C-alpha cells in the first residue's frame, strides 16, 4: 500500500515539474521580435490585395463573356413566365369545370337515346306482329315497351333540359346549334337539307328534330293503347 502511494506521489510531482518547465520556457517574445513579425504579416497581406480598378475591370470582363442563359435577369424572366403559366393553368380551367363535368353525363344520355329508340322500335314491332316467334308474350312485350319508352323520354328530357340523370345544364340552355337542329324548321341532318319531304308525315321533317321525336313517342303510345295487354290491377297504359 505504501509503495503504491509513493509511486502516485512521484508521478504527480513529475507532471508538475514538466508543466512548470514548459511554462517557464515558453515566455512571450521580446518587443523587437513581435513588431518584426507584425510588419512581415502586414507586408504579406498587402501582396494579396487587389486594387479597386483591377477588380472592377475584372468584373466587367467576366460579365461581357458570360453566356446569356446564365444571367440572373434570364433566370428571373423564366421564373416569372413559369409562375404565370402555373397560375393560368389552375385559374382558367376552373371557369369551365361545371361544363366539363356536365359533358360526360350529357354524352352518355345522348348515346342512350339511340339505344332506347332501337329498343322501342323492336318491342313495338314484336307487339304489332304477335306471330308467336318472340320469346316474350304480349304481356311481357307490353311491359318492356312501356319501360323503354319511359326511359327514352327521361333521357331525351335530361339532354335537352337538364336537371336529371346527373345532367346539370341541358343543351337547350347552352347550345345554339342544338336548338337550331331540334326546334328550327328544316332538316339539316339529311344529305339534302333542302328536301324535307317524307312519305309518312310530309310535314314532320320541316318542323325540326324535336317534332320527329314527339311523333315517334305518339306512335309508341298508340301501339301500347291499341295492341298492348294490360296487367290485372295495373293502371291505364301510357
pTM for this entry: 0.59
Neighbours of 16 (CB within 10 A): 10
- Is residue 138 one of the residues assigned to a domain? yes
72 pLDDT band (50/70/90 cuts)? confident
Would residue 117 count as lying in a domain? yes
Of 52-61, 110-119, 123-132, 226-235, the poorest mean pLDDT is in: 226-235
218 located within any domain = yes
Res 27: pLDDT:
47
The total number of residues shown for the chain amounts to: 238
Within-domain flag for 2: no
Domain span including residue 144 = 104-227
CB 120 within 8 A of CB 148: yes
| 221 occurs within a structural domain | yes
pLDDT at 220: 95
C-alpha distances (whole Å) from 19 to each of 10, 12, 15, 234 are 14, 11, 6, 119
Mean pLDDT over 171-198 rounds to 81
Q: What is the band of 50 on the pLDDT scale with cuts at 50, 70, 90?
A: confident
Contact in structure between 150 and 144 (CB atoms under 8 Å) = no
- Dihedral of the CA atoms 57, 58, 63, 64 (nearest 10)? 70
- CB burial string 39-71: b at 16+ within 10 A, e below: eeeeeeeeeeeeeeeeeeeeeeeeeeeeeeeee
Whole-angstrom Cα distance, residue 56 to residue 47?
18
Whether residue 63 lies inside any domain: the answer is no
Average pLDDT over residues 134-144: 87
Instruction: Please tell me which residue, 208 or 29, carries the higher pLDDT value.
Output: 208
Is the pLDDT assigned to residue 183 strictly greater than 90?
Answer: no
Answer whether residue 233 is part of any domain: no
pLDDT, residue 226, reads: 93
Q: Indicate the range of 71-80, 103-112, 180-189 predicted with least confidence.
A: 180-189
Return the H-helix or E-strand segment holding 126.
Answer: helix 97-129
- 170 found inside a domain: yes
What is the tally of structural domains in the chain?
A: 1
Average pLDDT over residues 149-159: 95
Amino acid at each position: 500500500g505504501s509503495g503504491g502511494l509513493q509511486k502516485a506521489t512521484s508521478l504527480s510531482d513529475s507532471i508538475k515539474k514538466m508543466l512548470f518547465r514548459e511554462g517557464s520556457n515558453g515566455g512571450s517574445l521580446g518587443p523587437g521580435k513581435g513588431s518584426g513579425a507584425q510588419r512581415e504579416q502586414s507586408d504579406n497581406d498587402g501582396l494579396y490585395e487587389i486594387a479597386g480598378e483591377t477588380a472592377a475591370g475584372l468584373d466587367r470582363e467576366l460579365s461581357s463573356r458570360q453566356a446569356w442563359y446564365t444571367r440572373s435577369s434570364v433566370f428571373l424572366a423564366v421564373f416569372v413566365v413559369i409562375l404565370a403559366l402555373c397560375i393560368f393553368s389552375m385559374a382558367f380551367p376552373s371557369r369551365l369545370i361545371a361544363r366539363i363535368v356536365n359533358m360526360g353525363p350529357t354524352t352518355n344520355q345522348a348515346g342512350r337515346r339511340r339505344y332506347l329508340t332501337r329498343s322501342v322500335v323492336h318491342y313495338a314491332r314484336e307487339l304489332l306482329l304477335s306471330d308467336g316467334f318472340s320469346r316474350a308474350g304480349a304481356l311481357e312485350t307490353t311491359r318492356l315497351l312501356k319501360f323503354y319508352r319511359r326511359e327514352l323520354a327521361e333521357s331525351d328530357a335530361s339532354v335537352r333540359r337538364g336537371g336529371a340523370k346527373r345532367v346539370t345544364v341541358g343543351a337547350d340552355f347552352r347550345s345554339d346549334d342544338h336548338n337550331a337542329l331540334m326546334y328550327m324548321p328544316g332538316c339539316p341532318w339529311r344529305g339534302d337539307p333542302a328536301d324535307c319531304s317524307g312519305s309518312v308525315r310530309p310535314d314532320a321533317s320541316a318542323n325540326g328534330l324535336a317534332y320527329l321525336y314527339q311523333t315517334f313517342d305518339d306512335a309508341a303510345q298508340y301501339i301500347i293503347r291499341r295492341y298492348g295487354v294490360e296487367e290485372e290491377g295495373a293502371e291505364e297504359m301510357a
